């Protein structure tokens, strides 16, 4: 057997080719024989089909005998007219070998299509989104090189190819066209592939994915052996996030709404947006596929999880999107996150966490697809999430570090990191023109804006404050100076009112205890909120006394705890209180020396008294200080 260019095989004798239904005129050659089927009889001849896409006229002058629709006979190409009309001539061939011909596809790469506007191309790939518009149905199709929207029109607002959905492998023939800034394919034909054809495409995609999802290797910004222990885990998250972008799964980022949380999420958002833009031909893709949202609570609340899940399901129903991956930043490592995670686990929503709060690995590990936390490597909060996420962002998308070199220092100052590496980070920032005071101002300004933004991400505003992806450096400086001043004035105003109500008590262990009723003796619903108000009072008392200090800021059904120089174990105290006070409804937690608890209003006195008792019994340890404040 021999095979020529078009895949024809001849078995000797006369060969007649039988075209597969999806063969085009490209498959028809001069001086070869083809099997034709009559589809219409007219006065001057018959019309025949060689395939679904190849039809033509056999003129009576090229024909002998009579024919009816459905009859088969052998033809050869007579001519192709300038207008595209095709004419065939009948050939006598009684004894022949029929040989099937499969179409040859010159499959185009989506990434080359911007240079092929006006051409007709064939694409093979996987449908990653199906969106019905008021006009055509848009199939977003991914191949080995990118993702492109393909518009198939049935009737205005009517779903084209209703049998084809997300995850199907398709072959599309269509014209490349430019619509405004974007390139898309206007679909002529769309066919769902199955069996070996589909598998071949899937294999190609999987191979390309493995290569393209590989994170970038970036030289560490600073030399810090402790940090290097986390690098393999960060690489794993970078790999997962790149894969998520390449398969066009949306990403939902939830982050702690404080300075470090912003310093973590903004660089990752910046990197992901660039990678999404590079992967998708659709210029709207970064906006549609990435959402960053703050979490007000220091854990993933059921309220947030329910909202996220609801949005995800709505987006799937309305925009034909896949369900998202959840990326938790500066949050998400603790047992308190578990109920929300369990809720998401009913759906296909992978979860990745980068956090530096004391984790409960046994509680969360089974629910997470990736988990980075310094405590898992015998390190601690001093490696802040912002520091980790600047490296993560560089692994996701290269060439962005010039915009990010000051960010780890802001993150470290925000969370009062006592890492030795802070000097190096401050040095990096100084090279970019930021002195420590300016970095502190940025940190204050972030905290201030996070407060007023409440449940909003404030994408552009926060970028301007942090000076990442910001186009007006002068405005950045003015904005930060203004916001930091306002924040300090608001803190002073709050403390002016509150300080005279702070009650002092000397504990048996020698520590000072300060208590403040933040509900009645501080302004409510303003900046700073109870957590930060308590923290500011605490800091002033630590400075004033130079001794071990515990501060409790309480409201009707909550208390915020801060301590320096006392060996507290807040999570243990919370569980003891919960057991010891019947009907107290005590819950909460946090870290060893900083945390918040909730209780029922009617048991407040018992809870606070019992809490103070436990604090008075705690050991003094001058080394311990409260950091990583959360409210």
Binding region for Mn ion (CB under 5 A): 260, 330, 385, 415
What is the closest distance, in whole angstroms, from the C-beta atom of residue 629 to Mn ion in the complex?
9
Whole-angstrom CA distances from 483 to 89, 107, 492 are 84, 55, 14
Half-sphere CA count of 366, side-chain side, radius 13 A: 7
What is the closest distance, in whole angstroms, from the C-beta atom of residue 443 to Mn ion in the complex?
11
Which residues are within 8 A (CB) of 565 and not within 5 positions of it... i.e. 6 or more apart?
A: 511, 547, 548, 549, 620, 621, 622, 623, 624, 625
| Distance in angstroms (rounded) separating the CA atoms of residues 324 and 185 | 26
> Nearer to Mn ion by C-beta: 233 or 260?
260
DSSP conformational letter for 98: E
What is the closest distance, in whole angstroms, from the C-beta atom of residue 256 to Mn ion in the complex?
6
> Which is it for the CA torsion 259, 262, 264, 267, positive or negative?
negative
Q: Which of 115, 180, 110 is nearest to 149 (CA)?
A: 110
What is the closest distance, in whole angstroms, from the C-beta atom of residue 411 to Mn ion in the complex?
7
What is the closest distance, in whole angstroms, from the C-beta atom of residue 304 to Mn ion in the complex?
17
> Nearer to Mn ion by C-beta: 301 or 557?
301
What is the closest distance, in whole angstroms, from the C-beta atom of residue 485 to Mn ion in the complex?
24
| Distance in angstroms (rounded) separating the CA atoms of residues 492 and 337 | 34
> Nearer to Mn ion by C-beta: 385 or 467?
385
> Nearer to Mn ion by C-beta: 382 or 541?
382
Phi-psi region of 628 (alpha: psi -120 to 50; beta: other; left: phi over 0): left
Half-sphere CA count of 414, side-chain side, radius 13 A: 32
What is the closest distance, in whole angstroms, from the C-beta atom of residue 296 to Mn ion in the complex?
15
> Nearer to Mn ion by C-beta: 391 or 415?
415
Strand-by-strand arrangement of the 594-598 sheet: 503-506, 512-517, 549-554, 558-564, 594-598, 587-590
> How many residues in total does the chain contain?
631
> Nearer to Mn ion by C-beta: 260 or 308?
260
With CB atoms as reference, the residue minimizing the distance to Mn ion is: 260
> Nearer to Mn ion by C-beta: 170 or 262?
262
Q: Which of 367, 360, 371, 306 is nearest to 335 (CA)?
A: 360
User: Rounded to the nearest 10 degrees, how much is the dihedral formed by the CA atoms of 261, 265, 267, 269?
Assistant: -170
> Nearer to Mn ion by C-beta: 168 or 260?
260
What is the closest distance, in whole angstroms, from the C-beta atom of residue 414 to Mn ion in the complex?
7
Contact by Cβ (8 Å): 185, 174:
yes
Residue 191 — φ and ψ, nearest 5°? -130, 130
What is the closest distance, in whole angstroms, from the C-beta atom of residue 331 to Mn ion in the complex?
8
SS3 label, residue 216: coil
What is the closest distance, in whole angstroms, from the C-beta atom of residue 570 to Mn ion in the complex?
17
| Distance in angstroms (rounded) separating the CA atoms of residues 543 and 549 | 10
> Nearer to Mn ion by C-beta: 137 or 385?
385
What is the closest distance, in whole angstroms, from the C-beta atom of residue 404 to Mn ion in the complex?
17
What is the closest distance, in whole angstroms, from the C-beta atom of residue 620 to Mn ion in the complex?
26
Contact by Cβ (8 Å): 537, 495:
yes
What is the closest distance, in whole angstroms, from the C-beta atom of residue 403 to Mn ion in the complex?
21
> Nearer to Mn ion by C-beta: 144 or 415?
415
| Distance in angstroms (rounded) separating the CA atoms of residues 336 and 597 | 12
| Distance in angstroms (rounded) separating the CA atoms of residues 251 and 31 | 57
DSSP conformational letter for 164: -
Q: Using omega within 30 degrees of 0 as the cis cutoff, is the peptide bond preceding 528 cis?
A: yes
> Nearer to Mn ion by C-beta: 385 or 551?
385
SS3 label, residue 433: coil
Q: Which of 406, 385, 394 is nearest to 470 (CA)?
A: 406
> Nearer to Mn ion by C-beta: 183 or 462?
462
Beta strands 55-59 and 15-19 are: unpaired
SS3 label, residue 628: coil
SS3 label, residue 454: coil
> Nearer to Mn ion by C-beta: 282 or 355?
355
């Amino acid at each position: 057997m021999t095979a020529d260019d078009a895949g024809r095989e001849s078995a000797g004798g006369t060969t007649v080719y039988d075209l597969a239904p999806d063969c085009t005129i490209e498959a028809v050659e001069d001086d070869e024989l083809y099997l034709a089927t009559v589809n219409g009889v007219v006065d001057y001849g018959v019309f025949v089909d060689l395939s679904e896409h190849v039809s033509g006229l056999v003129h009576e002058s090229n024909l002998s005998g009579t024919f009816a629709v459905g009859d088969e006979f052998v033809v050869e190409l007579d001519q192709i007219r300038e207008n595209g009309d095709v004419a065939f001539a009948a050939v006598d061939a009684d004894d022949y070998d029929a040989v099937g011909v499969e179409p040859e596809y010159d499959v185009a790469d989506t990434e080359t299509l911007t240079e092929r506007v006006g051409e007709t191309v064939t694409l093979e790939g996987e449908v990653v989104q199906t969106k019905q518009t008021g006009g055509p149905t848009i199939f977003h199709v991914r191949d080995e090189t990118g993702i492109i929207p393909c518009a198939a029109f049935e009737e205005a607002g009517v779903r084209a190819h209703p049998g084809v959905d997300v995850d199907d492998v398709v072959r599309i023939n269509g014209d490349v066209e430019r619509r405004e800034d974007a390139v898309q394919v206007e679909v002529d034909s769309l066919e769902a592939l199955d069996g070996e054809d589909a598998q071949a495409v899937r294999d190609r995609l999987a191979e390309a994915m493995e290569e393209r999802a590989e994170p970038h290797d970036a030289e560490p910004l600073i030399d810090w052996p402790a940090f290097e222990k986390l690098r393999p885990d960060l690489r794993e998250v970078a790999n997962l996030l790149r894969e998520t972008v390449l398969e066009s799964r949306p990403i939902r980022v939830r982050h702690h709404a404080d300075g470090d949380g912003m310093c973590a999420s903004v660089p990752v958002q910046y990197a992901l947006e660039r990678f999404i833009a590079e992967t998708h031909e659709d210029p709207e893709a970064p906006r549609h596929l990435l959402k960053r949202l703050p979490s007000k609570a220091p854990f993933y609340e059921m309220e947030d999880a329910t909202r996220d899940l609801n949005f995800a399901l709505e987006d799937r129903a309305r925009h034909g999107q896949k369900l998202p991956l959840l990326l938790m930043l500066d949050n998400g490592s603790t047992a308190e996150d578990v109920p929300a995670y369990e809720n998401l686990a009913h759906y296909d929503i992978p979860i990745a966490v980068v956090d530096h709060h004391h984790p409960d690995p046994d509680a969360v590990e089974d629910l997470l697809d990736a988990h980075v936390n310094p405590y898992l490597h015998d390190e601690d909060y001093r490696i802040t999430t912002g520091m980790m996420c600047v490296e993560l962002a560089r692994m996701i998308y290269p060439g962005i570090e010039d915009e990010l070199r000051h960010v780890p220092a802001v993150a470290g100052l925000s969370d009062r990191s006592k890492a030795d590496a802070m000097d190096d980070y401050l040095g990096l920032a100084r090279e970019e023109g930021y002195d420590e005071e300016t970095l502190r101002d940025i940190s204050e300004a972030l905290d201030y804006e996070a407060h007023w933004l409440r449940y909003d991400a404030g994408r552009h505003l926060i970028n301007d404050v942090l000076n990442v992806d910001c186009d007006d450096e002068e405005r950045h400086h003015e904005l930060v100076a203004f916001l930091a001043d306002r924040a300090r004035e608001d803190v002073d105003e709050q403390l002016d009112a509150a300080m005279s109500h702070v009650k002092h008590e000397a504990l048996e262990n020698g520590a000072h205890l300060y208590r403040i009723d933040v509900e009645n003796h501080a302004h409510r619903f303003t900046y700073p909120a109870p957590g930060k108000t308590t923290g500011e009072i605490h800091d002033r008392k630590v400075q004033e006394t130079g001794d071990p200090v515990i501060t409790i800021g309480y409201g009707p059904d909550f208390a915020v705890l801060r301590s320096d120089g006392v060996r507290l174990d807040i999570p243990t105290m919370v569980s003891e209180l919960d057991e010891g006070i019947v009907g107290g409804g005590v819950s909460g937690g946090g870290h060893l020396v900083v945390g918040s608890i909730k209780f029922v209003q009617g048991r407040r006195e018992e809870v606070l008294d019992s809490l103070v008792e436990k604090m008075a019994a705690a050991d003094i340890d001058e080394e311990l200080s409260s950091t990583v404040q959360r409210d």
